[in-house]
Amino acid sequence: MAQKTFITRLKLTDFRNYAQASLSLDGRHVVLTGNNGSGKTNLMEAVSFLSPGRGLRRATLPEVARVGSFGSFSIFASLEGMAGDVDVGTGTEVQDETTVRRLRLNGAPSRSVDELTDHVRMLWLTPAMDGLFTGSSSERRRFLDRLVLSIDPAHGRRASDFERAMRSRNRLLGEGRFDPSWLSGLEQQMAALGIAMALARHEMMRLLSSLIDQRRDDVPFPVADLALSGFLDDVGMETPAIDLEDLYRERLAMQRGRDASAGRTLEGPHRSDLLVRHRDKDMEAARCSTGEQKALLVGLILAHAELVATMTGFAPILLLDEIAAHLDEGRRAALFDRIDALGGQAFMTGTDVQMFSSLGQRAQYIGVDDGKLLP
């Protein structure tokens, strides 16, 4: 069984509508209730900053600082993490009119926020994600890459390095500088990184699909069939990686003129799309009802949380915003049982505490009122 990771203390300073806030937690799930606009999602966003990236809203750092503050914020948390007890401090400071994020682990400066994945893995589901299946492919890629990152922390670095190399190539082509040695070097780098990204995505999809098949009779949510398209569809990822790299590098070289005219690179892992189908209905998720899409998404997140626990040996922390709002009482009870069975700590929000009655004593209940936390 996966070991539990959980937050025991959380302190915020100048974060969104919180001038100061402090929580002591005992490892149970955390239910945050209050009126809309009171700060429930803001607190969960703060927790999401205990992982790499820009948090569950993908906000810029200046946007997160409390209005009326000096433009910076800080978050402190004590964790029972994957490497034992750890104190995490993260926040921002303004240097030469630029806002930068800092991280400290047990009081010592960290070289990169990517080190957070050594201590905790985190997944979230928010109302803003309800349009995932009908939205842009870039949103689905971002969702997919967060799933990959949870089991392969190096994926984020590969993706950012690929984007950097691709921007350099685009700039050279846009300026008409067809220097063969320079472009070949960039294309070699793009091929190695791009194929590694694609293989990591396909492997995660294979593992997740296998787990979904194993659990399909035990989960009170529709089964999703998953696929990827948009990059090397004519070849297949079963081809040896070195051959895939050679093929992609050759295509980049041949497509320089086309990419220069388009002003961007037209083939690569940055063009991939996540395809989801409702298995029992044999229907694309985008054509399903709003309720069915939500149920598919919840099922995917829960399945992935189990995959993370299986792959790492530690259950992830879940952030589930307004998770119970559109579920009947029976479906809510089944959902809470499933969350509890994963073995981790979950943060959940809602406007009515009665929606969480079936959780009973498995959770701590905290009221939120205009940036104030009430037991």
pLDDT tens-digit readout, 259-309 = 999 999 999 999 999 999 999 999 999 999 998 999 999 999 999 999 999
pLDDT at 244: 97
Task: Give pLDDT tens digits for 149-165.
Answer: 999 999 999 999 999 99
Bind-site residues: 34-41
Looking at residue 189, the DSSP 8-state letter turns out to be H
**Per CATH, which fold does 134-287 belong to?**
Glutathione S-transferase Yfyf (Class Pi); Chain A, domain 2 (1.20.1050)
> Measured between alpha carbons, how far apart are the two ends of the chain, in Å?
31
pLDDT confidence tier of residue 34, bands split at 50, 70 and 90: very high
pLDDT at 221: 85
pLDDT at 236: 84
| pLDDT (average), residues 79-91 | 97
Domains 1-130+305-375 and 134-287 share a fold: no
At the fourth CATH level, the homologous superfamily of domain 1-130+305-375 is P-loop containing nucleotide triphosphate hydrolases (3.40.50.300)
Q: Is the pLDDT of residue 337 over 90?
A: yes
Q: Is the pLDDT of residue 375 over 90?
A: no
pLDDT at 217: 74
| pLDDT (average), residues 106-111 | 94
138-172 burial, b at 16+ Cβ within 10 Å, e below that, comes to ebbbebbbbbbbbbbbebbebbebbeebbebbbeb
**Mean per-residue pLDDT of the chain:** 94
DSSP per position, 30-73: EEEE--TTSSHHHHHHHHHTTSSSSTTTT--HHHHBPTTS-S--
C-alpha dist (Å) from residue 95 to 46, 72, 76, 89, 99 = 22, 11, 21, 18, 6
Q: Is the pLDDT of residue 31 over 80?
A: yes
Domains of the chain: which residue ranges? 1-130+305-375, 134-287
Task: Give pLDDT tens digits for 211-246.
Answer: 999 987 777 889 999 999 999 999 988 999 999 999
Q: What percent of the chain has pLDDT over 90?
A: 87
The neighbour count for residue 364, using CB atoms within 10 Å, is 17
pLDDT at 242: 96
Whether residue 47 contacts residue 7, with contact meaning beta carbons closer than 8 Å, is answered with: yes
| pLDDT (average), residues 35-62 | 95
Q: What percent of the chain has pLDDT over 70?
A: 100
pLDDT at 347: 98
DSSP, collapsed to helix, strand or coil, labels residue 279 as: coil
| pLDDT (average), residues 95-103 | 86
**Residues 6 or more apart from 31 whose CB is under 8 A from it?**
348, 349, 350, 353, 356, 359, 363, 364, 365, 366
The answer, as to whether pTM is greater than 0.85, is yes
Bind-site residues for ATP: 34-41
Q: Is the pLDDT of residue 5 over 80?
A: yes
Q: Is the pLDDT of residue 1 over 80?
A: no
| pLDDT (average), residues 122-143 | 96
